Amino acid sequence: MIPVRGFENATVAVLGLGRSGLTAARALHAGGAHVVVWDDGAKGREGGEAEGFEVRDLTREGALDGVATLVTSPGIPHLYPAPHPAIRAAWEAGVAVDNDIGLFFRSLGHDGEAPRVVCITGSNGKSTTSALLHHVLAQAGRQAHLAGNIGRGVLDLDPLGEADIVVLELSSYQTDLARSLTPDVCVFTNLSPDHLDRHGGPGGYFAAKRRLFAEGGPERAVIGVDENEGRYLANQMSEAPGDDRVIRVSLGKLSGPGWQVTARKGWLAEMRKGRQVASVDLRDIPGLPGRHNHQNACCAWAAARTLGLAPREIEAGLRSYPGLPHRSQRIAERAGVTFVNDSKATNVDAAAQALQAFKRIRWICGGLMKEGGLESLQPHFGTVAKAYVIGREAAAFAVALGPDIEAEVCTDMAVAVARAASEAEAGDVVLLAPAAASFDQYDNFEKRGEDFAACVTALDI
C-alpha cells in the first residue's frame, strides 16, 4: 500500500466505500490521517465500520466541520447530473474535494525516487491499451504495475521506486476531479459519445479527458488523431510540426515531419522525421484482432518507445499478448464456428469496431441503449448475417436496428447463444458485442460476458 502523505494528524472524509474508497481510507490512515467514512448503502457502511473507521453521515449539517479534504469515489456524481449532497456540503464549507488518483500523485516521491507513470484514457480501447503496454513492459523485463480503472486500486500498489513503471488506466470520472496530475506519459486513444449525462454533454466529456494533458503536463503525449478532438489536442500539445513530444496515432495516413505511429491495412509503421524506423504485420497476432485493436497496438507501441523499448522488444510483447477477458476474447471454436466475447463493447462505437473485425457474424446485441441511438452502426451491418437481441427491452432494441438487418428477439443470453449457434455455418463468428449497457440484466459487463461464456460452454454441438 502507498501511504498518502500530507494529511498527518488531519481529518479526511471518504465518501463511497467500494474498492477505491476503502483503499483510499486505508492509505490515508497509513499516512497518519484521521479518517471518517460514509457510504449511502448500509453494506458499505458496515464494511467501513468493520475496518475500524469512524462512520459519519457526511450529508448531515456540520459533519464536515474540521475536515481537511473530502475524498470521493469515481462513481459518485460531483457536478452532473447533480452533485452528491456531501459534495455540495463540501463546497459550501470550503472543504477541498479530491479522489484516489489525486492522492496517488500527491504522494509520489515522498519516500524516495518516484516511478515513471503512464496514464491512458479515451472512450474505447483504454483497457486493452493499458493491459497490452503492461504486458509488453513485463515481457521486456521492466518492473511494471497495472492499476487505476483496471487491475489494482492505485493506492493498493506496494511502495514504488525509480525503477518502477506504473501503467494507469483512467476513466473520465477519475481525470475530471483529481487535484494532482503529474504523469510522465499520457495516452489518448480516441473519443466517442459516452457518459454524457455525467459530464453535461460531449464538451464536458472531452474536457475531462483533456484535463489529464492540459493540467498533467506530461513529458510525452501519445494522441489518437482520427477524430477532431484528438487532432485539436495534438495541436494544443505541440509547439511546432516536428515537435516529438507529441506522437500522433492513426488508422489512416499521416504526413509531416513529426513522430507518428499508424496502422494501415493491418501494418503498423513508426515514422520519425519523415522516415520509417519500424514496421510490424499485426494481422496474424491472435490477441489483437480487428482495426480497433490495431489502434490499441499503435498506442501501446508509441508509449513503450517513449519508455526506451526497442522495436523488437515491443513486437515480441505484441505477439505474446493473450488478450483481455470480455474484449474480443475468443471463447471457443466448435464445428468451424468461432465464439467471441466482446461484452465490453458497451457503446455503439465499440460495437462498430467489433463488427469490422470479422467477415460473417451472428451478432448478439442489446441491453440498455445509450444516448444517440443505433443509427451510426448501420454502415457496418454488411458483416452481420443476423442479430440476436437480448435485454429487457429487446423488442425496442431490435426495432432501433432498422429494416436493413434481420433481427430475432431472444431476450436472454441462453436463448440468443443457442439460436445463433444452431444457425451458424462453418466460418461464422458468434459475437457478443452488445452496443449497450448491461445493467438491465447484469451487475456489470463482466457478468454479462461470463454468462455468454457459460452458455457457449453448455452448448451441445
pLDDT tens, 186-200?
999 999 877 788 889
Lowest model confidence (mean pLDDT) among 22-31, 369-378, 405-414, 447-456:
369-378
Q: Give me the amino acid identity at 118.
A: V
Query: How much is the average pLDDT of 100-109?
Result: 92
Q: Is 126 labeled as ligand-binding? A: yes
Look at residue 396 in the predicted model and tell me its pLDDT: 96
Look at residue 461 in the predicted model and tell me its pLDDT: 62
Q: Is 242 labeled as ligand-binding? A: no
State percent of the chain over pLDDT 70. 99
Query: How much is the average pLDDT of 148-169?
Result: 92
Look at residue 370 in the predicted model and tell me its pLDDT: 84
CB atoms near residue 428 (< 10 Å): 22
Residues 166-187: pLDDT tens digits? 999 999 999 999 999 999 999 9
CATH of domain 103-320: 3.40.1190.10
Q: What is the DSSP string of 116-129?
A: EEEEEE-SSSHHHH
Give φ, ψ of 270 to 5 degrees: -105, 125
Q: 259-264 and 267-272 as β-strands: parallel, antiparallel, unpaired? A: antiparallel
**Domain spanning 329-457: which CATH class is it, in words?**
alpha beta
Query: How much is the average pLDDT of 67-74?
Result: 96
Lowest model confidence (mean pLDDT) among 105-119, 274-288, 296-310, 381-395:
105-119
For residue 45, the surrounding DSSP H or E stretch is helix 42-50
CATH of domain 11-98: 3.40.50.720
- Is residue 112 scored above 80 in pLDDT? no
Q: What is the DSSP string of 245-311?
A: TEEEEESS---SSSEEEEEETTEEEEEETTEEEEEEE-TT-TTS-HHHHHHHHHHHHHHHHHTT--H
CA–CA separation, 444 and 433 (whole Å):
14
Which residue in 357, 376, 356, 354 sits closest to 365, CA to CA? 354
Partnered with residue 34 across adjacent β-strands are 11
SS3 call for 340: strand
Give φ, ψ of 118 to 5 degrees: -110, 125
For residue 38, the surrounding DSSP H or E stretch is strand 34-38
User: How sure is the predictor about 410, in pLDDT bands with cuts at 50, 70 and 90?
Assistant: very high
> Hey, which bits of 112-175 come out as E strands?
116-121, 143-148, 164-169
User: How sure is the predictor about 307, in pLDDT bands with cuts at 50, 70 and 90?
Assistant: very high
- Is residue 35 scored above 90 in pLDDT? yes
The rounded mean pLDDT for the chain is: 94
Q: Are 422 and 410 in contact (CB under 8 A)?
A: no
Where do the domains of the chain lie? 11-98, 103-320, 329-457
Look at residue 301 in the predicted model and tell me its pLDDT: 98
Look at residue 194 in the predicted model and tell me its pLDDT: 76
Q: Is 125 labeled as ligand-binding? A: yes
Residue 331 in grid coordinates: 471463447
State pTM to two decimals: 0.84
Residues 416-451: pLDDT tens digits? 999 999 999 999 999 999 999 999 999 999 999 999
Q: Is 99 labeled as ligand-binding? A: no
CB atoms near residue 42 (< 10 Å): 8
CA–CA separation, 142 and 137 (whole Å):
5
Look at residue 322 in the predicted model and tell me its pLDDT: 86
Q: Is 121 labeled as ligand-binding? A: no
What would you report as the CA-atom Rg of the chain, rounded to the nearest whole angstrom? 23
More confident residue, 136 or 111: 136
Residues 315-365: pLDDT tens digits? 999 999 988 889 888 899 999 999 999 999 998 988 998 999 899 999 999
